[in-house]
Amino acid sequence: MQPVARSAMSHLHEAHGARLARVHDWEMPVAFAGATQEVSAARAGAGLWDLSARAKWEVVGSGTHAAIGALLGTSPPGVGKVAKGTLSGQPVWALRLADDRALILGPPGTALEPALRGVLPAGCAHLIDVTSAMCGVRLAGPSARTILAALTSLDVSPEAWPDLACAQTGLAHVHAILLRHDVAGLLSFEAYASRNYGAYLWEAFLDAGCGRGLAPCGLEAEQLLVAPTVADPH
């Protein structure tokens, strides 16, 4: 018998009729209403995805700048910016939250630790695995900005918040890390916060999206959105 991790929102996914499956040692929602219907909802209004299974690592310390540069193989992003790189053949994103702090995101199941430790300056930066400690959600679609604006005082206008911007901010009265990362031509925001608030934030997004076409979405919808040739099995 192998252990399986569960998102803080798993009981809510079950209540919404999600079909769950084990993916990279996590039990995650594969579909709610079906991939085609979910993608249509996201393109017309907005979709809400659970990203809690993503690999998540914090880099903290005075060596953060050098560590991110070595990790990405290029100039590190400035504070409030996101840069993309490749680690062990997998895409990773570095969110520069402060001079001495960054959040590294990777696909579920990515073994970030060996490669990250290999680029950390000795004694100047520390690596913390926060994969299980933090929940994550993606809000994507034409209504995403309106829904998000109802939950935060942060200015998320296109001028203030272009693609690949990030910040620490209040979200539905909870401290969160927020970034904009557009996907498949859709306006898209991601939010990461303490796992303790996962269920609360999921419901807060659904409440803010009521009447704005928001629908919960699963992994099959994400695959269909990114690769439209993938057939919906439903």
Structural domain containing residue 83: 56-129
More confident: 86 or 171:
171
Domain count, the chain: 2
Whether pTM > 0.85 for this model: the answer is yes
The whole-number pLDDT of residue 233 equals 38
In this structure, are 137 and 117 located in the same domain? no
Banded model confidence at residue 48, pLDDT cuts 50, 70, 90: very high
Long-range contacts of 127-131 (CB under 8 A, 24+ apart): 127/57, 127/58, 127/59, 128/57, 128/58, 128/59, 128/60, 129/56, 129/57, 130/56, 130/57, 130/58, 130/103, 131/53, 131/54, 131/55, 131/56, 131/57
In this structure, are 45 and 161 located in the same domain? yes
Instruction: Tell me the mean pLDDT in the region 142-170.
Output: 96
In this structure, are 83 and 115 located in the same domain? yes
Would you say residue 43 lies in a domain? Answer: yes
